[in-house]
Amino acid sequence: MANHKSALKRIRQTASRRLHNRYYAKTMRNAVRKLRATTDATEARDLMPKVQKMLDKLAKRHIIHRNKAANIKSSVQRHVNSLG
């Protein structure tokens, strides 16, 4: 267990940040999953900008790595293009 006040505070901060980051990462994963499951081209084209915006924001805030965001955006864009 922590012996310093600053260490106790750091534990509290880390726990709250972890919950915050997990929420947004899970929301992003669900949005990507929904887009990949879509077979309708117009619906996919409507969802694509929202998912890209979400990925860019999470990468900017260091919740996910910027290369991971780029890889997901690339694969999802390929899926949308394949729909026609």
How far is CA 24 from each of CA 17, 41, 43, 58, 78, rounded to the nearest angstrom?
Answer: 11, 26, 23, 8, 24
pLDDT of residue 3: 83
Cα(19)–Cα(15) distance, rounded to whole angstroms? Answer: 6
What tens digit of pLDDT does each residue of 36-58 get?
Answer: 999 999 999 999 999 999 999 99
Sign of the torsion angle spanned by Cα atoms 13, 11, 30, 61: positive
Residue 84 tokens read as 């026609």
Which CATH number among 1.20.58.110, 1.10.238.10, 1.20.1250.20, 1.10.260.40 corresponds to the domain 5-83? 1.20.58.110
What tens digit of pLDDT does each residue of 58-74 get?
Answer: 999 999 999 999 999 99
Sign of the torsion angle spanned by Cα atoms 68, 70, 71, 76: positive
* Percent of the chain whose pLDDT exceeds 90: 95
Instruction: Please give the model's pTM, rounded to 2 decimal places.
Output: 0.84
